[in-house]
Structure formats: structure tokens, C-alpha cells
Structure 1
Amino acid sequence: MSDVMRTTAPDAIKSKYGAAAERRFKRLWAANAPGYLFLLPWLIGFFGLTLGPAVISLYLSFTDFDMIRSAEWVGAANYVRIATADPKFAAAMRVTLTYVVLSAPFKLTFALLVAMALNKGVRGLPLYRAIFYLPSLLGGSVAIAVLWRQLFAGDGLVNAALAHLGIQGPSWISHPSYSIYTLVALSVWQFGSPMIIFLAGLRQIPTDMYEAASLDGASKFRQFYKITLPLLTPVIFFNAVVQTIDAFKAFTPAFIISGGTGGPINSTLFYTLYLYQEAFGNFRMGYASALAWILVLIIAIFTAFSFLTSRYWVHYDD
């Protein structure tokens, strides 16, 4: 009798708690199933189109793979070659860093100036916001890149305007000393997105602070330096991080304007363009995957550095 009790008691307890757990699971599923079903397309996209390819790319970065033969494991050989025996990698990094250092600050400065001008109670503000935001929607397209190439060509509209002033302009696109600046100008022209965010941030600053500063005799510049900038630092920080990451990932303008070659003397050889050349031009998919992960590492280091240093200059309400 005792043996029967010893064998059946655990089963009874297990059956009791198992049934309770099953009922609890059914209640939770009934409450949350619609949410998971709505999330299902995103989950499929995340695991199938983002996380899955990223993991495969990480594996391929340690292989020699040309998309024809099977991938051959080579260990860290791709990364060693990038660090020691690839002059085009250094050229692409130099061009990309130059583009990032010039385009992001100029774009943010111009966007902030326009946002401050629109914050003065301009009539027809929604129309101006739409007009100024339009380049951000169109600037990354192939059509705008082609138009930009025509504007800055040797016989383009820019040189035609300079000719009326008696100035003989160079072929901005094909000249190694100026080609990168045409791409910077295209990036700055797409100031609409940070401008909208700056405008929203400016609208959150209490106007009574400016009124009190004016009564104390503070000039407009001092009000900007002591009130606007400190209270706007969270928005500046957000825009700076987003725009810098976008600058690192820039591809379409360099590809279209330079014809996919990287311009004269690699003057517009962006990192992403070089990655594309290695992957789909030279069919070195393993090497291109290593380049891609180095770019991910560079962006991650920059983002981490930005967050670590933000405590010293970003001011929140608390």
C-alpha cells in the first residue's frame, strides 16, 4: 500500500501543477495572442531579413566565398588582409571619415538655423516645413543623384552660373580636389529631417525664459548660448548620432555620381561603395562581409563613445 502511495503521489502532484500551468498558459495566450499575431510579420522580417542574414554574414567574414564555390574557412585571414595589405581600405576610410566630419556638422548647423528662423512665428509655417522637408525625402534617390551630377559637371548649371560672373569653374565631379565636396553639399541639402526635430525641440523651450533674459539685458547671442543650446542638447545629441550613422552608411550618391568607380584617384570611394565593389564587382563575398562587420564595429564604437560622453554636455530636465 505504501509503495502504491509513493508512486502515485508525485504523479498526482505533477498532474495537479501541470494542469494549473496549462490553464495559466491558456489564459496568457488568450490575452496576448492577438498582439503576437500582429507582431508576426515584424518578427518574420527581423529574424528572416535582419538577424539571420547578419549571422550568416558574420560566418562568411571568416571564409573565402565567391558565390560560385562553397565557402572555405580561412579564419581571420580577411581581417588580417584588411589591416595589413589593402590600400583601398585605407583610402575608403579616409574618404568616409572626411565625408562624416564635414557633412554631419554642416547639415546640423544649417538645419538648426532654418529651424530657428521658422520658430519666429512665420506665416504659412506648415508650407515652409513641407518645402524644406522635401529634399530629405528625395535626396537619397537615384534621380536626385543624377541631377546633382549634371549640376556639377564641367558643362553643368553651376559652371554656367559662374561663367556669367567671369569665373571658369572646374569639372567639380571629376576633379579629385572638389568631388567629395559636391557630395557633402548634397548631404547638407537634405537638412529637412533634423530641421523638423530641431523645430519640435525649440517649441518645447518656455518663452518666459527668453522674456526674463531680455529683462536682464541679455543679448540675442547670449540667450542662444545660455538658454537655447543647453535646453536643446538632448535634441542635438539625437540628431548628431542619427546623422553621423547615416553619413557612415551613405552609398547612393557616391555610386551614381562617380559611376560606381569611386571617382578620380578614389576621391569619392566611400566605404560602402568599396564594400559593394568587393562583394558584387570582384565577387569576394567573404572579404566584403569582413568589411561590413568592421563598419558595424566602427559605428558601434562611435555610438558608445557618444553615449559615454553625453553625460558631460547633454542636459535633461532632471
Structure 2
Amino acid sequence: MAATSEVTTRGEADQTGPSPRGGAAKTRGGAFGEGRAAWLLALPFCLLFLTFTVWPVIQSLFMSFTDTRSRDLKTPFAVDIVGLDNFTKALSDEQFLQSARNTAYFVLIGVPLTLTMALAAAVVLDRGITKFRSVFRLGFYLPVITSIVAVAVVWRFLLQDEYGLINTALGWIGIDGPNWLGDPNWSMPALIMMASWRNFGTAMIIFLAGLQAVPWMLHEAAAIDGASVWQRFRHITLPMLRPTILFVSVTTGIGYLQFFEEPFVMTNGGPLNSTISMSMYTYKQFGFGNYGYAASLSYIIFIVIAVVTAIQFRLLREKD
């Protein structure tokens, strides 16, 4: 009887499978194998990232503390380390300071204008337009995916002094249009106008997604309590769009702080350096062969972007 019970117990033990310790060991072995397979699959990307991203960043950071010029490329380790001289030189470089003022002008006017246009278009598309809504979305977003060269060529024709469509339309109502791209007082506003028109489509799509996430029942309840359209927009829509506004303002601000294509294609930084940006001035320094100085300018732009982004997070983040 005892032998029969022992046989039965062993049979039940065999049917229950391996012991918990053995199962845990196999689980750890399987996890290790999956982790090793994941690293093998990620290895090509990691090598490319280290080669073409991390190493150039480290090299450019080292270059910013040297007097590297184009003639030094044959002997890159024979350059002199100048410390912070390149950075202090930038703070006394009048052309770079002019480009910094131009960039600040472009950002301080262009970002609010772009966000206002985008939010207005998103509100209209969200509630105001019911028919052909997809057509309007595509039309507003189309400039974003259009080549900047094609956009610049069209806008250069629009902004011509004598025969441009904008000045022609202004002449119909008795206004003598300015020389948009030839007058230092109007060249930057012309670029801001073009950049806002070209880039507000991206912000509009993001704002539209944020608006569709706002519960409409809150607006209905506020309307029943007597709140006007503006009051509902100010006290319901804008607070609930705060994360969206933060994201759009940060991404748009970063893009505008690096603006390069607009002045490069349309004005080449003129007239009288009124449209040259920090990125364009840095690009010209690379073209002149001042690699060490250009690298330091690049890191100054990076610091400016980091500071401006931190300020935006401070001002626009959700409050507890």
C-alpha cells in the first residue's frame, strides 16, 4: 500500500512539470537570449549613430576650442587650443550680433504669428467648416511639404517691387507697396510673412488634434450657464490646450531659431545684412574656412535654443 502511494506521488510530481527553481532558471535564460538578440538587431543602428552622430558632435566640440581652419585639415592634430577665445570673439563680432538680433526679431514676431494663424485655422476647421473639411486641411498643410526653393521662387514674384501681385493688389486700394526684399525695413517682415504662411500648417494639424480632444460637453455646460463664445474659448479651450501649445511653441521656436533657408534663398542675408540669421552666418564662416570659429557659433546657437526652450517650459507647463 505504501509502495502504491509512493508511485502515485511520483507520477503526480512528474505530471506537474519542472520545479519552480528550474522554471525560473529557464525564464532567466530566455530573457537573456531575447536581450542578446535585441542588442544584435540594434547593433547596426548603434554603430551608425556613434559614427555619424556622436563622434562628429564630440569632434566639433573639440574644434570649437581650437583655431582650426581649412588649411589645417591635413594636420588636424597640429592645431592650437585657444580655449574660450572663439566664444568671446563671437560676443564682440558685430556681424554675429546683428544676426542674433535678426534671429530674435524673426522668432519674437514669427512664432506668435504662426501659432495664432494655426490656432485660428484649427478652430475654424474644428467647428466652423463641415463641408470639404479635408480639402481645407490639405490646402493649409500643402505648403509644409512643398520645396522651400519652389515656395521662395513664388514669393519672390509675389514680393517684387513694381510687378509683384502683393503690391499690385495694394495699388488697387490706393496703397503704394514697399520694396519688400530691397528695403532693410521691410525685408525681415516679408520673410516672417512667408515663413508663417509656409509653416503654420504643421501647428494647425496639431492644434486640431488637441481641439478634438476637448470634451464638447464642457462648452455646452458653460453655454447653459451664460458664458459667451470668447469666455468658453478662454476658460475652457485654452487651459485644456496648454500641453499642445507648449509642444507647438517649443518645436516652432526651435525651428525658427535655426531659420536658414528663407534668407539664403530669397535675400542672401541682405539688404545690408538685415535678414542674415545666426545659422546663415555660421554657414558662411564654414564657407570661409573658419572651422573652429564656426563650431563655436554652432554651440552658441545650441545654448540659445536650450535656454529659450527652458523658458517656454517654465512659462507654459501645466500648473499644479
- TM normalised by structure 2 equals 0.84
Deviation readout 1:182-215 (Å, 9 max, x if unpaired): 1111121021111011000000111110110111
Match 2:171 to one of 163, 175, 182: 163
1:224 and 2:233 correspond:
yes
1:153 and 2:160 correspond:
yes
Aligned amino acid, residue 39 of structure 1: A
1:90 and 2:97 correspond:
yes
Deviation at 1:264, TM superposition (A): 1.3
Deviation readout 1:24-75 (Å, 9 max, x if unpaired): 9974453134544553454344322222211111111111112222433222
**Paired residue total:** 287
Whole-angstrom CA distance in 2 between matches of 1:233 and 1:289: 36
Alignment of 1:155-304 (within 5 A): 155-189=163-197, 190-258=199-267, 260=268, 262-280=269-287, 282-304=288-310
Whole-angstrom CA distance in 2 between matches of 1:48 and 1:96: 32
Instruction: Give the 3 Å change call, closer, same or farther, for CA 168–41 of structure 1 in structure 2.
Output: farther
Match 1:62 to one of 62, 65, 68: 65
Deviation readout 1:251-307 (Å, 9 max, x if unpaired): 01110111x3x1112110111111111111x21011000000000011111122222
Instruction: Give the 3 Å change call, closer, same or farther, for CA 150–306 of structure 1 in structure 2.
Output: same
Aligned amino acid, residue 253 of structure 1: E
Whole-angstrom CA distance in 2 between matches of 1:25 and 1:56: 41
Task: Work out the percentage of aligned pairs sharing the same amino acid.
Answer: 36
Aligned amino acid, residue 218 of structure 1: A
1:30 and 2:33 correspond:
yes
Aligned amino acid, residue 185 of structure 1: M
For the aligned residues, what is the CA RMSD?
2.1
Partner of 1:309: 315
Whole-angstrom CA distance in 2 between matches of 1:185 and 1:294: 27
1:74 and 2:77 correspond:
no
SS of 1:72's partner is: coil
SS of 1:178's partner is: helix
Aligned amino acid, residue 167 of structure 1: I
Whole-angstrom CA distance in 1 between matches of 2:49 and 2:101: 33
- TM normalised by structure 1 equals 0.84
Q: Which segments of 5 or more consecutive residues in structure 1 lack a partner in the other structure?
A: 1-22
